[in-house]
Amino acid sequence: MNGSLTEILSIRSQADFDRAVDQAVSLLQQGQTVVLPTETVYGLAANAFSSAAVRRIFEIKRRPFSNPLIVHFTGQDMLDHCVRRWSPEAEQLGRAFWPGPLTLIALRSPHIPEVVTAGGDTVALRWPSHSFMQAVIQKCGFPLAAPSANLANRLSPTRAEHVKEQLDGTVPLIVDTGSAPVGIESTVVDLVSRPPALLRPGMISFPKLKTFVKNLEKSTATESSSVDRSPGRTTKHYAPRAKLIIGSWKDSCELEAFVRQFPYSRNAIGIVSYSVKCDPAGFAHCSLLPPEAENYASSLFSELHACDAAGSDLILVESPPPDAAWDGIRDRLTRASSTTGFELKDTERIDGRTRR
């Protein structure tokens, strides 16, 4: 498939919505992959019950088959076809947070092929809240495997143009409904393990989850030595093309001191901050994101994409606050960061306040 064969359908009216649903459903029923919007990020979707269709996802993303996929569904009947057993804890969390950006791990049914689950006996399940994704799943009549619509380990897409930049020509259709409102991937909770474990933080925080699952623990593993039950846990993930470094600064002077630690010209550096407005003069890109976690998350990947698009070789990102509400953001930035192995001269640590 060449680049001219990827169609982008922008939704501006109910007629556009209905037409795009019909086109997406037709392609999915034929075993093809399409890019659909969700509330978290844009997803590369295929029939979750079809091994052949799901394999195409891995081929397009260049994703290792050891990395499982999340299955998106709507309604109890469809859920019952995806799982062998549904626990009281899963019922509680589902009632509290679905539809929404929460993924739950349960024992998979025989209807879910092993390629979806990396050969494991569990499946990651989510009921999305995005109206377009819901409409497509309901009309298809089958659940959709839908990881983020980007090349493996690259920045997740929160706008259709982000998808086009990475996957143009590899899919027949991208449906464009604007920016994904949540902005980072879903929270993932494993309800098969004992005790239950938070595998991937997101915008549904650990304290909120503990309200419903008292014995919930945080997983300390980054990736499993055997079969992993959740995507997004590799050490290097969600990464821009540019080198990304997390640091801290309390004012513009400290930001300037931080910038001077790196052997890059200013026009090759992007800045992403939430507390200090940087002077954009000379930088490749400057962003001042909202200081509230939810608003910050909805803009983060888009601003990292903008840094890449501006030609940044280095992106300096202000370290998030330690609050639990920022855990998902901190996880994404840590995995995207190139700090490991980067050598700073004449400094003890990567912090604008520490210089020798």
Are both 56 and 116 inside the same structural domain?
A: yes
**How large is the angle between the packed helices 14-29 and 131-140, nearest 10 degrees?**
40
Are both 155 and 263 inside the same structural domain?
A: no
Residue 310 lies in a domain: yes
What integer pLDDT is reported at residue 281 of this predicted model? 84
Query: What are the residue ranges in the chain where pLDDT is below 50?
Result: 1-3, 222-225, 339-356
Handedness of CA 42, 43, 44, 46 (dihedral sign): negative
Q: What share of the chain is helix, strand, coil (3-state, %, to 5)?
A: 30, 20, 50
Residue 233 lies in a domain: no
What integer pLDDT is reported at residue 3 of this predicted model? 45
What integer pLDDT is reported at residue 5 of this predicted model? 82
What integer pLDDT is reported at residue 91 of this predicted model? 95
Residue 144 lies in a domain: yes
User: Which residues constitute the domain of residue 104?
Assistant: 3-218
Residues 6+ apart with CB under 8 A from 349: none
Residues 6+ apart with CB under 8 A from 327: 201, 205, 206
What integer pLDDT is reported at residue 341 of this predicted model? 36
Are both 27 and 166 inside the same structural domain?
A: yes
Residue 237 lies in a domain: no
Are both 208 and 97 inside the same structural domain?
A: yes
Are both 182 and 251 inside the same structural domain?
A: no
Residue 223 lies in a domain: no
What integer pLDDT is reported at residue 229 of this predicted model? 78
Number of domains forming the structure of the chain: 2
Are both 157 and 193 inside the same structural domain?
A: yes
Q: pLDDT tens digits, residue range 288-309?
A: 999 999 999 999 999 999 999 9
Are both 168 and 81 inside the same structural domain?
A: yes
Are both 175 and 318 inside the same structural domain?
A: no
Residue 230 lies in a domain: no
Are both 211 and 331 inside the same structural domain?
A: no
What integer pLDDT is reported at residue 165 of this predicted model? 94
Are both 291 and 161 inside the same structural domain?
A: no
What integer pLDDT is reported at residue 352 of this predicted model? 41
Contact predicate 89/212, CB 8 Å: yes
CATH code of the domain covering residue 72: 3.90.870.10
Give the angle subtended at the CA of 74 by the CAs of 122 and 327, to the nearest 5°. Answer: 60
- How is the beta sheet containing 217-218 ordered, strand by strand? 7-10, 173-176, 34-36, 43-47, 144-145, 70-72, 122-126, 102-107, 187-190, 197-200, 217-218
What integer pLDDT is reported at residue 64 of this predicted model? 92
Point out the domain boundary residue: 218, 234, 263: 218
Are both 254 and 316 inside the same structural domain?
A: yes
Are both 34 and 168 inside the same structural domain?
A: yes
Residue 236 lies in a domain: no
Residue 350 lies in a domain: no
- What token pair was written down for 207? 């304290």
